[in-house]
Amino acid sequence: MNMHRRRFRYGIFIISAIGLGAINLIWLIPTIRTSRASASVFALTVAERIHSEINTSLEEVLSEESSAAEDIAREPARSNIILQRVLTQHSLFATLALVNNVGKELVRAERGGFALPQDLRDQSKNPALYLALQGTPTLDASQFSLAANPVAVVAVPVRRNGEVNQVLIGEIDLQNLVTHIRSSSIGDGHAYVLDRDGFQILHPDFGEMLQHKNFILRPIARKVLIDGVIADGLAPEDGYVNEAGVATFTVGVPIPAVHWGIFVEQPRAQALASENQATLLAYGVIVLSGGLLLIIARSSFKREKLARRQDELLQENDRSAKMLVRRDIELTNVNARLQELDRTKSEFVSVVAHQLRTPLTGLRWSYSALVGEELGKLVPRQKKILNDCLQATMQMIALISNLLNVARIEEGHFGFALRSQPLLPIVEKVMEQFKKIVADKGVTLSLVVGDGHFPDLLLDEEKISVAVTNLLDNAIKYTPPGGTVTLSLYLDAATVRFEVRDTGMGIPKSQTRYLFSKFFRADNAILLQTSGNGLGLYVVREIIKRHDGTVTVESEEGKGTAFTVVLPIKKTA
């Protein structure tokens, strides 16, 4: 009888143990899947962001070089200026070369200037040349040199009358793309990029990058580079043991345009930490429950004690549930805080610009007082140095003001306070600010006012002052000593028109249509004045547009430029 009872108890124990194991598997397996899926989603999100940033940079490079090739095709005599403009405006380019159909460089521009005739290279063995000669733009990262910075080659055809006889070949310094993967926050892991042949071309460690290792034998590399599919890290062959002997959890995303692959590698123990914790917890639960069942099977007389223990476990579970609720609330609060930080970050640029403008304005008045010898006589060398400081400070103030204006325009916060007032006093006040500048430069600044009684207009005095200041500043900046700048004011039937005309360098006719675009500067302006931001005329156009007016430009290279602003005369209630 006792034996039967013992067997019965053992049977109950075995059935209970199997049941507990099954119950643990019911929650453990989905938990492991969820953990791996979360690790995969996180790593793929990082990889997709890097993919987007690199792809955008490469598209901009290809677009800019294609645009330069079109400009060279239209104006071959300006090839030097076009190449230098691209190098000045786009930091990704290391060199640009115009090559004929047999691989001989006709001109090559570098960061330091143009190559001498004896230093021009032979590109006849460059495979990218022949693809471009067939009309196919190409980007090739295989031209990797251990003796210098790694580069990628972009070659685009130069078409004239439908034929390709020349190719524009640019070298991209791949170090400039490393920032996209270096800024990724992935714990102890990192991201890297392989080219189509499996060579490592981008890595956050520059020393690793220069070793140019080949990882094509890794199954995940072949899946991404050869098959062109996304590796989510969940397949058994996606992981590997890296050079440091660490088992990894890795995902990969292809960049189809250049046949590269982006890989995000993390230590497997770190990426799947929640999976390991869940497994340990499951083992713990099984051991604990098995012990309890053993106690029940062997010690039926301790049922009351077991009941108390069960109550304690229930209370512990209740505390755990409450803790989880608190953690959920904390995570919700953290998420709200992150959203607030994102909004704060967006406002940071505007606040910093405001904070910079105040001390810079103080510096400007201090330098002005020193240059004006209000605090004592200066020797010529001292006066020149202080005057240079004053000019640099004024340029920084102008840049910050334009950046703030552009930011406000784009955010819709560029408010206008229109009221009826005359235009002439505003113009005269702005011209007064330029008297010393034109005197120092040797440029004649004059005001011409047409006949008739000028009516009041609906104007925002501050914004109109900014527009007139930007127009006069441009005209004076690009007019040589001995030249003239004239501001004329005329009255028409239903409009008031003012014109800023100079005898400066003028603007190439082919580029006048881009003048009111953000950050655009004409080729000859870049060569004459390396400083400048290309924002002033964009701000002018937006201000005049908000006054229901128009601004146009007429220019002839070498003879001068005229900007004409037309403002409507409106009846006020």
Residue whose token pair is 């034996």: 3
Domain residue ranges in the chain = 1-298, 331-414, 415-568
Whole-number Å distance between alpha carbons of 9 and 297: 5
Burial class (CB in 10 A: 0-12, 13-18, 19+), 378: middle
> What is the fold of 1-298?
Beta-Lactamase (3.30.450)
Is the CB of residue 109 less than 8 Å from the CB of residue 83? yes
Say what the pTM is: 0.45
Class of domain 415-568: alpha beta
Question: Residue 388 is which amino acid?
Answer: D
Residues 6+ apart with CB under 8 A from 404: 350, 353, 354, 357
| Domain 331-414, architecture per CATH | Orthogonal Bundle (1.10)
The helix/strand/coil state of 521 is coil
Q: Mean pLDDT of residues grouped by 10 in the chain (573 residues)?
A: 56 62 61 78 88 85 89 90 88 89 91 84 88 85 56 89 90 80 75 89 82 90 92 88 90 88 90 68 61 60 64 76 76 72 50 62 70 75 76 67 60 70 90 88 90 85 87 87 92 88 84 68 53 70 87 86 89 54
pLDDT for the residue numbered 6: 57
Residues 6+ apart with CB under 8 A from 44: 230, 232, 233, 251, 253, 264
Q: Across-strand partners of 157?
A: 167
pLDDT for the residue numbered 530: 43
C-alpha distances in Å from residue 352, one per residue of 294, 337, 412 = 69, 21, 19
Question: Residue 455 is which amino acid?
Answer: P
Residue whose C-alpha is closest to residue 564's, from 511, 505, 515:
515
- φ/ψ (deg, to 5) at 249: -110, 115
